[in-house]
Amino acid sequence: MAVHVINEAKRCLQCKKPACQMSGCPIGTHIPEMIRLFREGKGQEAASMLFENNPVSLFCSLVCDHEHQCEGNCVRAKSGNAVQISSIEHYISDAFFEKLELKKAAPKGKKVAVVGSGPAGLSVAVDMAMRGYDVTIFERKDLLGGTMRYGIPSFRLPRTLLDRYVKMLRKLGVHIRPNTTIGGALHLDDLFSDGYKAIFIGSGTLRARRLGVPGEALGNVHYAIDYLQNPDAYQLGDSVAVIGAGNSAMDAARTALRQGSRFVTVYVRGTQTSASHREMEYAMADGVDFVYGVSAHEITDEGPVFIQKSFDEEGNVTGESGPTLFEADSTIIAVSQGPKDKLVSTTTGLAVTDRGLVEVDEKGQTSREGIFSAGDVVTGPRNVVLAAKAAKEVAANMAAYLETV
């Protein structure tokens, strides 16, 4: 692994206008500088730079859509052989994580609450702790990580990395309250009453969205976001149908195979998936089959029933046939997620969209003064690096706000 990463680092051309960074990286990672430092034996300095720019680089280096972001914009990609930037970033972030020198600002004597511990919540918690604020994370589950722990399979993002991250948070002095649902015994107003000067909502989108067809309540039907939280709790049988086209569908399909199912098929409504090409390739390599141009009509005890569509060369629907039963022991629905609504329903004056997402202004502030939000609970389900980018921007605005209270 080390030799491979060193060889990849040597292939970097150190472009003066690095498209990998300027066009490819949503959070603006200083990629050529990272590689230059690594090649000069300054891995510690490179790791510190990565962490300061993106506190969750350890995870982004594994789960970002690199083929369309940094690596897809690498000048060497034009010849079909991009520098494997993700491997270099992960090697540095992983090897030097415990050696990071975390230089906190002097204590400011102000408390900040972070609701949710996904990529947005963790990014804000680290940022505010480094600025000298007294940070407490409120997490409704027993372990931190949010969608990174409960929505991404461990073969893509090992849980040991998240466990190491918790140790770093405690080193920063961040307080952690697991198994605490804001909107249950505690409400956001209670946090203000107990002295918190600002609150960040990063509660994510871990509630499954319905497909909207008969049969979703049957015993052999499951939602991908529920299944991925604890696959060991499920007995899916030999054959599994996965309805969806995104990365969650790929994750569910690949997990089902690893859990012992023999035949897994992903059913896609259109002519192509919305999952990253790399994740689809991995799914195919694992043995997942794909059926395109089918829309769910209903789900039965014997499997899903689809309407089959035909398309012209431009992707327009030219005809339909069916309904047709596709036999399966179990069906997994992977058609997006939404936010939990307990927090919103127990907080007066917190505006949300018709999808239940939190409304914010250009600074990430909600309709309630002192309450900020970013990530999936604002945009809907996206990816780790976009949540981290938004959280980074909002954290700076939170800090500016806290200077006034």
Q: What band does 1 get if pLDDT is binned at 50, 70 and 90? A: low
The yes-or-no verdict on residue 2 having pLDDT over 70 is: no
Pick the residue with more confidence: 282 or 207? 282
Per residue in 131-176, pLDDT (tens digit) is: 999 999 999 999 999 999 999 999 999 999 999 999 999 999 999 9
- d(Cα 353, Cα 154) in Å, to the nearest integer? 32
Question: What's the pLDDT at 133?
Answer: 98
Q: Which domains does the chain have, with CATH numbers?
A: 2-99 (1.10.1060.10), 111-207+338-402 (3.50.50.60), 210-335 (3.50.50.60)
pLDDT band at 312 (very low <50, low <70, confident <90, very high): confident
Q: Which pLDDT does position 342 carry in this prediction?
A: 73
Q: Residue 339 CA to chain centroid, in angstroms?
A: 14
Average pLDDT in the 204-223 region? 94
The structure tokens 């918190």 sit at 196
- Percent share of the chain, pLDDT over 90: 84
Which of 330, 126, 78 shows the shortest CA–CA distance to 222?
A: 330
Kind plus residue range of the DSSP H or E element containing 337:
strand 337-338
For residues 80-102, b (16+ Cβ closer than 10 Å) or e, as one string? eebbbbbbbbbbbbbbbbeebee
Burial class, 210, CB count within 10 angstroms (exposed 0-12 / middle 13-18 / buried 19+)? exposed
pTM of the model: 0.93
Q: Could you read off the pLDDT of 329-378 as tens digits, one per residue? A: 999 999 988 887 677 777 888 999 888 899 999 999 999 999 999 999 99
> What is the biggest distance separating any 2 CA atoms in the chain, rounded to whole angstroms?
68
Q: What is the pLDDT of residues 226-245, one digit of tens each?
A: 999 999 999 999 999 999 99
